[in-house]
Amino acid sequence: MSVPTTSLPGTMRAWVVARPGPLETRPLRLVELPVPEPGPGELLVRVLACGVCRTDLHVTEGDLPVRRPRVVPGHEVVGEVVAVGPTPERPDARRPAADGTLAVGDRVGVAWLRHTCGECAYCRRGAENLCPRSRYAGWDADGGYAEYTTVPAAFAYRLPEAYDDVDLAPLLCAGIIGYRALRRASLPDGGRLGLYGFGGSAHLTAQVALAQGATLHVLTRGTKAQELARRLGASSARGAYDDPPEPLDAAILFAPVGDLVPVAMRALDRGGVLAVAGIHLSDVPELVYETELFYEKELRSVTSNTRDDGRELLGFAADHPLDVDAHPYPLDRADEALADLKAGAFAGAAVLVP
Ligand SMILES: [Zn+2]
Ligand SMILES: [Zn+2]
C-alpha cells in the first residue's frame, strides 16, 4: 500500500446488513469496522458522499439474496483516493484499467459494477453488464455506507468537476442506470417518452431525455414527484395508472411494480418499447396480446450497466448541468434515509454524508 498523505485511523463507522428483513425489524446496524486495506489493483477511498438507492433497500430487506453476510451497502460513492493498493502481479491485458493514473488525492466515483471477468462471450462483445462473474459494490463487496471503502481502480470513475459531492452521488447509479434504460427504450428523435415512477433515477433520466429533445410524460403517485416532474419540464404529470395525454413512443418503468407493465404497454403507440429499469420487480400479470403486445410493441429489461454507460452519462452530465434533487442525511441516519425512501418522503435522492 502506498503511503497515504494523512495517517489513516484503524477503524471506521459503517452500517452492515445484520439480518435482512423489513426495515421495521432494524436489519441495518451501525458498527465499528477496521478500515479496509486496498488489495492489488484497488484504491482505498475516503467516502465524501454516498447515495441511497432503491437497490440498497432490496439488499437490506432481503428482496435480493444475501451474497456477502453483513455486507456494507452503498454503491453511489463519491470519495477521495487516500491509498493505492499494490500493483497486480499479473496485469490483465484484456482489461485495461479504466484509468491507471488515478492517484492519492483524486476525487473518484464508485458505482454498482465493481468486477467483470473480461473473457466471457458477453464481456468480449461489449456486454459486460451480462457477465456471469460480475460482482457488485454493496452486495458482493462492502460499499459506501461507511467512512471508507475500496474499489478496483479499473472500475472507478473520474467525475465532472462542476458538481459538489452530494449532487454527484446519485449520478453514479440512479443516473447511470436511467441512462442505460433510456438507451434500451430506443426513443426516436423528438419522440414521446413516458416515465412510470419518478424518483432518484427518473428525475435525472428525464433531464437527459429533455436535453435530447424528447416530449416527456410522467406517470407517478405522489404530488411532490409530480410537481418535481413539471418543474423539470414534463409536459404532463399524472397518476401511475392514468393514461398519458398521447400515445408513447417509448416508456421506462422505474417503479418496482409489475402491475404497471400492462398499463405502460397499453400506453405505447405501435412499435413502442417499454424498458424496465429496476433490478427487482413484483410479478408481472398476464399480458393481453392484442392490446399490450401486438403491433410490435416490445418489453425489455435493463440489467446493470457497462462502464461505457457510466462514462457516457458522466460525460453528458459534464456538458449538460443536471439539476440533482439531493437530500443529505448524516451517515448515522442511514436507516432513516432508507425508511424515507421506502415511504416516498422525498421526490429525488437521499445522500449520506459521513
Ligand atoms: Zn465476463
Ligand atoms: Zn443503485
Q: What is the mean pLDDT of residues 240-253?
A: 98
- Cα angle 52, 303, 310; round to 5: 65
pLDDT at residue 2 tops 90: no
**From the CA of 240, how far away is ligand 1's center (Å)?**
37
Using DSSP bridges, classify how beta strands 298-301 and 113-115 pair: parallel, antiparallel or unpaired.
unpaired
| Ligand that comes closest to the CA of residue 180 | 2
Cβ burial of 131 (10 Å; 0-12, 13-18, 19+) is buried
C-alpha cell at 69: 453476510
Q: What is the mean pLDDT of residues 182-186?
A: 98
**From the CA of 312, how far away is ligand 1's center (Å)?**
21
CB-based contacts of 125, cutoff 8 Å, min separation 6: none
Q: Model confidence over 81-94: pLDDT tens digits? A: 999 999 887 655 45
**From the CA of 295, how far away is ligand 2's center (Å)?**
33
**From the CA of 201, how far away is ligand 2's center (Å)?**
9
Cβ burial of 3 (10 Å; 0-12, 13-18, 19+) is exposed
**From the CA of 129, how far away is ligand 1's center (Å)?**
8
pTM for the model: 0.92
What was the pLDDT predicted at 124? 97
Q: How far apart are CA 12 and CA 34, in angstroms?
A: 6
Q: What is the CA radius of gyration of the chain?
A: 20
**From the CA of 319, how far away is ligand 2's center (Å)?**
23
For residue 108, which of 196, 65, 44, 60 has the smallest C-alpha distance? Answer: 44
**From the CA of 226, how far away is ligand 2's center (Å)?**
22
**From the CA of 307, how far away is ligand 1's center (Å)?**
13
What was the pLDDT predicted at 88? 84
Burial 48-70 (b: 16+ CB within 10 A, else e): bbbbbbbbbbbbbbebbeeebee
**From the CA of 130, how far away is ligand 1's center (Å)?**
7
| Ligand that comes closest to the CA of residue 175 | 2
For residue 264, which of 237, 291, 290 has the smallest C-alpha distance? Answer: 291
Q: Quick one: pLDDT band at residue 6, thresholds 50, 70, 90?
A: low
C-alpha cell at 222: 405522489
Half-sphere exposure of 115 (CA within 13 A, CB side): 17
Q: Model confidence over 288-302: pLDDT tens digits? A: 999 999 999 999 999
Phi-psi region of 303 (alpha: psi -120 to 50; beta: other; left: phi over 0): beta
| Ligand that comes closest to the CA of residue 111 | 2
**From the CA of 186, how far away is ligand 1's center (Å)?**
25
Q: What is the mean pLDDT of residues 150-168?
A: 97
**From the CA of 170, how far away is ligand 2's center (Å)?**
9
**From the CA of 52, how far away is ligand 2's center (Å)?**
8
**From the CA of 116, how far away is ligand 1's center (Å)?**
5
**From the CA of 302, how far away is ligand 2's center (Å)?**
12
| Ligand that comes closest to the CA of residue 133 | 1
pLDDT top residue among 222 and 351? 351
| Ligand that comes closest to the CA of residue 126 | 1
**From the CA of 90, how far away is ligand 2's center (Å)?**
31
What was the pLDDT predicted at 266? 98
Q: How far is CA 315 from the centre of its chain?
A: 16
Share of the chain above pLDDT 70, in %: 95
| Ligand that comes closest to the CA of residue 127 | 1
DSSP state for residue 140 in the 8-state scheme: T
**From the CA of 126, how far away is ligand 1's center (Å)?**
10
**From the CA of 279, how far away is ligand 2's center (Å)?**
9
What was the pLDDT predicted at 99? 54
Cα 81 to Cα 46, 137, 323: the distances in Å are 6, 16, 26
What was the pLDDT predicted at 90? 67
pLDDT at residue 163 tops 90: yes
CB-based contacts of 337, cutoff 8 Å, min separation 6: 52, 327, 329, 350, 352
**From the CA of 91, how far away is ligand 2's center (Å)?**
29
